């Protein structure tokens, strides 16, 4: 997965999880994580970010 290597190492697992959850590419997943981290005032590497995104995906 060379494409994943361009993202911060501590966020790669979350990026992979969000990409699978949303059925999208790594770049879109990364920007989703960044947007969520800004809205919640959390670090993008926080393991709760993918869980929050998953809640949004299934609540709608």
Tens-place pLDDT, residues 3-50: 999 999 999 999 999 999 999 999 999 999 999 999 999 999 999 999
In 3-state terms, what secondary structure has residue 41? Answer: coil
Cβ neighbours, 10 Å, residue 35 = 12
Q: Which residue reads 């670090």 in tokens?
A: 43
Name the nearest CA neighbour of 16 among 42, 43, 41, 53.
Answer: 53
pLDDT at residue 56, as a whole number: 80
Model confidence band, residue 58 (pLDDT cutoffs 50, 70, 90): low
pTM of the model: 0.88
Which residues, including other chains, have CB under 8 Å from residue 53's CB and lie 6 or more apart?
18, 21, 22, 32, 33, 36
């Amino acid at each position: 997965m060379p494409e994943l290597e361009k993202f911060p190492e501590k966020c790669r697992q979350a990026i992979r999880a969000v990409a699978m959850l949303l059925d999208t590419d790594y770049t879109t997943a990364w920007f989703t994580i960044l947007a969520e981290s800004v809205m919640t005032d959390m670090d993008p590497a926080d393991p709760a970010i993918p869980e929050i995104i998953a809640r949004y995906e299934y609540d709608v």
